[in-house]
Structure 1
């Protein structure tokens, strides 16, 4: 296998000096790669890109994979999922990209038209035309519209896909940007409407305005036609906070604005906005996660137990970790009364995933042993009670509720599984069962394929569930791709992985999805079990799944590959440095890898609540044991790794992947590296770039796990 070693004159070190791990020397000869737009660093990127593309694009399967990926991503018969519903004017909004509209169209159709087989779409904003007119690659990051009219919107536009974005006021009736309207220059901003002439705004106001994580620390009340610098401050957080963000909620009782002071990534204080007066802190625990607002009540998920002395005369009440509650905001705002209703008490294998709000109900998506469930709760103000109603969805898949509005009763449910394409159903209200209005055509031949759920036993005896998707007739070790994430309470639920089905399953491969600790599959406790000093548990869980796949004869070390992105990139980075003998392919995408310096690369400080602070001696000792960059050794053999990242990724700095790749190269370890010059944290700014990335990944997997490259 080809060993690529960067010349000593370029790196400023010798390859011989790197035969021991950085954990021992604490040296970092690749700090210059942290200069994201530095010419020397970009020259290195271009050189590595050329080598990797030269090899992978020359593979005889690449052109077919690229064409198949592009056809799936750009297919005209995709489901145009609703991005926003304007119930008052009867519109459904959608953002659409295809072969012609590379950057995309923000468009709308009538509600009745949306339910039809052939909606008549009206373009609201053409991102390709805007990009051409302004000589930029604008990536649409969404729009926040002032209800209930939804005429005035704040549109978020990103150059190349980065999180830092411009915000511009847009008129959906005139379909143009508002002349001299609200405008925020490129920054990681947060905004929310108060009324047609007032917004709440947090942005980079200048020196001292940001937290150490790089997010807004201050929220102001900005009135139209007044200088932003003179806008009154409603709330200031601390520089050590993750950030301070405003939001606005509507229901039949009116509109409220709330400011979230995120003390850490997981702990928040919430403040009720009252004009230009200082915002009032709402008496919720730091573990509260605000998911919605309905009939004067905040819908809240609890990350930890909450014991509260209610002012209704009851004794102290404890709401358990993972519960969904309704906090009486309107009553508290008027009289100071503290009262809450228990909506859902989580079972041992359950988790509350998300909440959608209609005029009539709170609709909750849940997991039951990593299978989707939907439950609606209606409130009777006279009886002061909630009535639950389960909404039937197919089994063995995922369900999500979308297309809702607090001004309307209707809702939509999307269902999908590993082998069942997406099915979007519509219900006019809770008294009518949802009926399918749109279905995604099959993207691969699933005949004969099965989905199985197994359990592996981790180092501490905990049972770790995982799914396997394979052809039922195949036996013996198979080329297997194991995917995982394991962090930030993010669940790996069943989804229709169309590109993997076409480019991997149909080619003779199989894949597995691990539900390891650190995720949210079984509620906050499943996440808490792998936070901070206990982070290694997530990595032990992943290795246990890999070993279980091998023990069951479903794969072998020569045929087992792993893949993960972002925190999942860290997961696979730890996996191949701790247990390199288990794997023969590693796709490490937009990863964190230098965990001793992750807080130095914005917004890394915001993740201290997840990983711990490397400046803390106890945490540093724990992090040093698993940080991939510090534990790479010249004395070990590693599988050939494919690193993928983006220059424009301002969420996980590309320096993580750059430095790890450079270190491997200097040690003569096999690797491939590709950095998209655009793309943000998704590593792709449009569908063409995404198709290219997919083709590169599956060519690499084929070569590593099916021969011709191992």
Structure 2
């Protein structure tokens, strides 16, 4: 089949980077509101849409994915109070609803629906993307996002009658909510025009009293010296301290500040402004990761228990005396081990620590003095996807899932777990094989990967090699109905743990970031070559898929080794490595990638930037670029420019598809309706099966 691509105008824009002229012929595609860009998108969809709709496996995949998706799924509940005064709120999807419904239970009464986001839009694209239950359980604050946007709006609902209050808060992104008294702390951003792609900066922390106008919310914290950091707000469970995690972009080496509410809480609650000098800086940012997990008071002694990788790349838990906060005075409670700490929490009177062992969860219980109390057993190679509970309450709820086990809520008490909510797997797990393999990368490091297939799958077969490799994000076992349908169709799924993640601690991340980014691409190539050597795939049956930073991964790797892959999926990708920082959240990523304004960073960015490394005369493997019109995190210009450039270098046509699919009324992925997820997944796996079957 021959593909003919719509022509795209090539402009004459040329930028000068450190003495080098770099052409940017598709700069006009950065104007998302222009008619010319709209025409380009329509023309791309006019090519990709009919082709994808006509793939022979697509209809069957939609039907089977719909069946596999149709199982109940529940998230861990937020719990406040005990006995007759207990209030529990949780989300639940009965199977195929576009968005989960929120339920509430008072005491022993029957649960009732508290909030159904499916009623908030006709197409299911308004989603709840965050929530917090007040300390007395009376009020439920929830964050709404429309069409996948990072922009959020906050509303408050009564849990006794399900009615919204008049409170509506705007100008929110990436915000956290911390209740205190009759209100809550939150993070607000300066007002921007709807649809603006300008970089976002200069957040501030405010306190909102229920019933007041947002414009009257008193300022609690603002960095007058530096508009760049982002702040996450949290209260210690005893409500004594307000803690701010201060981060620069996506750099996990955060600072910590705290405010003593025993001294300043009344000022806030009465609507007053906090003296900036009242804030105490515990640690500077840029040194290590720090998270306060508990405040412990013993008479006049006051200590924070902090998870940190300071002087411990795999993580440890320390006690920090607030009167002697210098790191030399920190006392190690839970020492660093050979396995990285993914998270820790103070729950049910204990410390619960999740170590990653071969990229899977291992839970260990400790007392607050660091004494090991034993493990909290899990059923296999899986992931903890959510936590709910408090230090002062006896019960912990954990979300758990694996490649073969659907999302389950476990209830733990006294080191014993049972199932609070869950469903039987729609496919017999005994018919699926989950193996752990390792490839040797270019520097000699072993790179782990999960290989999932049906026991009777023919080898070699169609392989989806999935990777991410960045931002300390760990790729651990998760349940996917779409992947199960692909497995049933004879496919094989491989999930790689590449450098750039933190599956093996911060060094694993550093080895794949900034000037070391090429190592991530080398890791993926090594995994692919290992699969060929092991007889699991051939170059014709090996496909790669990734999204966001993973979309950059698959695009860059394809350009470097087009001979190794039979098909490539690049979802919501970061493509223009010289200009990503000029749009919305892109400036946050310079700590991971570097900034082309820096001459040293420019040299490594230009070497792998997908937009700048497409060549003519190369037969690239079948490529599906996927983006969404409302994506205001990785803006669609990346995908548009890539499609235009690779189609141009192909001479305007090719025997193998080089396509762009643009989703409407969707964003980067968060809150996407179930119906859209199924259709998108069917396109992906029908494309892979079409081009990878032996």
Matches within 5 A, 1:150-299: 150-179=137-166, 181=167, 183-188=168-173, 190=175, 192-193=177-178, 195-205=180-190, 213-223=199-209, 225=212, 228=215, 231-236=218-223, 238-239=225-226, 241-250=228-237, 253-266=238-251, 267-274=253-260, 275=264, 276-278=274-276, 279-286=278-285, 287-290=288-291, 292-296=293-297, 297-299=303-305
| Secondary structure of 1:477 counterpart | coil
Q: Structure 1 pair 342/420, CA: closer, same or farther in 2 (3 Å)?
A: same
1:510 paired residue among 465, 475, 492: 492
Matches within 5 A, 1:640-659: 640-659=622-641
1:325 paired residue among 289, 293, 317: 317
1:441 counterpart = 2:424: yes
| Cα distance, 1:338 vs structure 2 | 8.3
1:701 paired residue among 685, 688, 691: 688
- Residue 355 of structure 1 corresponds to 344
- Residue 402 of structure 1 corresponds to 387
1:138 counterpart = 2:126: yes
1:635 counterpart = 2:609: no
| Greater mean deviation of Cα atoms: 241-250 or 153-162 | 241-250
- Residue 30 of structure 1 corresponds to 26
Q: Matched residues in 1 for 2:158 and 2:108: separation?
A: 23
Matches within 5 A, 1:95-114: 95-98=91-94, 101-109=97-105
TM-score (norm 2): 0.87
| Secondary structure of 1:574 counterpart | helix
Q: Matched residues in 2 for 1:230 and 1:469: separation?
A: 51
Q: Matched residues in 2 for 1:355 and 1:111: separation?
A: 29
- CA offset digits 1:401-460 (Å, max 9, x no partner): 623233411113444433344454322333xx2123444322335454322222111111
Q: Structure 1 pair 552/227, CA: closer, same or farther in 2 (3 Å)?
A: closer
| Cα distance, 1:33 vs structure 2 | 1.7
Q: Matched residues in 2 for 1:277 and 1:332: separation?
A: 23
1:302 counterpart = 2:287: no
Q: Matched residues in 1 for 2:430 and 2:482: separation?
A: 16
- Residue 375 of structure 2 corresponds to 390
Total equivalences in the alignment: 659
Q: Structure 1 pair 684/633, CA: closer, same or farther in 2 (3 Å)?
A: farther
1:469 counterpart = 2:448: no
| Secondary structure of 1:478 counterpart | coil
TM-score (norm 1): 0.85
- Check the 8 A contact 1:397/1:417 in 2, yes or no: yes
| Cα distance, 1:157 vs structure 2 | 0.9
1:85 counterpart = 2:74: no
| Greater mean deviation of Cα atoms: 262-271 or 591-600 | 262-271
Matches within 5 A, 1:37-56: 37-56=33-52
- Residue 268 of structure 2 corresponds to none
Cα RMSD (Å) of the superposition?
A: 3.1
| Cα distance, 1:495 vs structure 2 | 2.5
Q: Structure 1 pair 51/455, CA: closer, same or farther in 2 (3 Å)?
A: same
- Structure 1 segments unaligned to the other structure (5+ residues): 114-119, 306-319
Q: Matched residues in 2 for 1:257 and 1:482: separation?
A: 43
| Cα distance, 1:387 vs structure 2 | 4.2
- Check the 8 A contact 1:262/1:269 in 2, yes or no: yes
- Check the 8 A contact 2:124/2:673 in 1, yes or no: no
Matches within 5 A, 1:510-589: 510-589=492-571
Q: Matched residues in 1 for 2:335 and 2:436: separation?
A: 25
